Amino acid sequence: MKNTLLTLLIAILSAGASATSISDVWVSDLGNGQFKNPVIYADYSDPDVCKVGDAYIMTASSFNCVPGLPLLRSYDLVNWELIGYALNKLQPEDHFALPQHGGGVWAPSIRYNNKKLYIYWGDPDFGIYMISASQVEGPWSEPILVKAGKGLIDPSPLWDSNGKAYLSFALAGSRAGLKSVLLVAEMHPEGTHLLSDARIVFDGHKEHETIEGTKFYKRNGYYYILAPAGGVATGWQVALRAKNPFGPFEIKTVMHQGSTHINGPHQGGWVHTDAGEDWFLHFQDVGVVGRIVHLNPVKWIEDWPVMGNAPKDSFTGVPLRTADKPKVVRTVDVVTPPENDEFTAAQMGVQWQWHANPSHTYAYYNPLDGGWLRLYSVPKPDAYVSLWSIPNLYLQKLPAPVFTATTKLRFEPNTGIQGERAGFVLMGRSYAMISIEQTSAGLVVSQIACERADRGGKETVHASEPLNQNDLYIRMRFTNGEKAQFSYSLDGTEFVDFGPDFQALEGQWIGAKMGFFCSREEKTNDAGWLDVDWIRITP
């Protein structure tokens, strides 16, 4: 890898070029007509899905990560390709210039209506937003604030056959001071604003505490609100139905954990296929890796959607570990969201996100000379305590409970300053990394951990050695869905374990993520940089 810089400015993708790939560490398609859950073993929280032609389009919560609102496409609900993002930057832009952990995009709904795609989401601090596009590749519109207010979350639109439109949503107790209620309001048919005050249509305080995550549908003359209750890790899925969009609603629990190991099971979206089948995509919270995506069949019993596997004459199913794949009308290739990156493209790979709205100074790509990504060092924020507070973390989701990530780096610090450092990090509420730092004695490679960074924890150096070259290979072995062991190599062949095993923690409402950073202490007029040659994920 050469140091010639081709000045290609990073383009945050509105719906970027897709990267067809097959994971070496998790594939749901069993190749025999069946699939295993999860269909995606990665953090796509609060998934929702709609059908466009013969394709299914999924989006998910992205919280403070940018670009936001991932867009995934499938032709069989099992094999999912990550094709880009719908949201370039979080709004208001200045507010999200630094990480707002747990803020941003909550629980989106995606719908296709009148030849147009719509995505609605709640930002718990600002209100309910909407964007639209004529095709999934975009361009997507700028966000419209449909309803301002603190604590408004989990919106879902419904366009009725009589020309009217409605919006269901819920409340976040952390901002609104009230939770466990579901609301419905009439909405302008163009989907841009509400026409009526919202009515509380269901109160779950007695039997369905923490009910939220609304998904609004109509079928066979009934209006349905699908919603999870009971909490993310311990809850169940309910269905409400009524003959009027404002109720009164009947309610049944239609899926719970039962005796399975699939806890939750939490919110998601229902879809009806061309083959006449019904399926429900939802998530399971597995802790460090995050909220992974499951697929379960739906059968209708007396106009109630029973999900998963249910005993005879029961309205409550349990999630399946394996099942027959959905019937399809076309040949479908095995595909998974991308994990590896050789950095040969001139733009951001679709698996990568920043931890806040990025600046144009953070990163550039050179697709020549074998391809590489250059991250320039960014001054630490004024209130810096740890990496928890910096925006220029360039990260991707963890792809499986067991995997090995290996990367080749080259650090070129600004030799006129000290305290500039870069490296590879496993980021969460606690984090660990291998860093390379410019010191008065030269380059130093260190294994560093920070316990409970979200509570102000400070970094601890567990191992440190002089480094007599700028190139370094870093490896992280991730096991048991929660443990990481770091090692490094000077030649890419012989790796030396470095520092103790690390007990990872998830982020705020997101799974732990892995990737790169480059920062400095001083606010100077020039920066050093980290060149990333490649990253490869193996078993």
Residues serving a catalytic function are 46, 212
Question: 229 CB contacts (<8 Å, ≥6 apart)?
Answer: 180, 204, 208, 209, 210, 211, 212, 235, 236, 237, 238
CA atoms within 13 A on the CB side of 436: 30
What does the alpha-carbon distance between residue 213 and residue 457 come to, in Å, rounded to a whole number?
Answer: 32
Query: At 485, which amino acid appears?
Result: Q
Q: How far is CA 201 from CA 167, 214, 280, 344, in A?
A: 12, 12, 23, 52
Cβ atoms within 10 Å of 388's Cβ, excluding its own = 24
E-strand ranges in 413-470 read 421-427, 431-439, 442-450, 459-466
Q: Please say whether the dihedral angle defined by the alpha carbons of residues 327, 329, 333 and 337, taken in this order, is positive or negative.
A: negative
What does the alpha-carbon distance between residue 260 and residue 323 come to, in Å, rounded to a whole number?
Answer: 15
- Tokens representing 357 are 């709205």
What does the alpha-carbon distance between residue 278 and residue 307 come to, in Å, rounded to a whole number?
Answer: 9
Q: Which helix (H) or strand (E) holds 405?
A: strand 403-412
Cβ-count burial of 204 within 10 angstroms (0-12 exposed, 13-18 middle, 19+ buried)?
Answer: buried
Query: At 198, which amino acid appears?
Result: A
Q: What is the DSSP string of 296-321?
A: EEEEEETTEEEESB--TT-S-BB--S
Q: How far is CA 77 from CA 214, 281, 350, 376, in A?
A: 21, 8, 20, 39
Q: Which DSSP letter does residue 174 get?
A: H
CB 69 within 8 A of CB 110: no
What does the alpha-carbon distance between residue 293 and residue 282 come to, in Å, rounded to a whole number?
Answer: 6
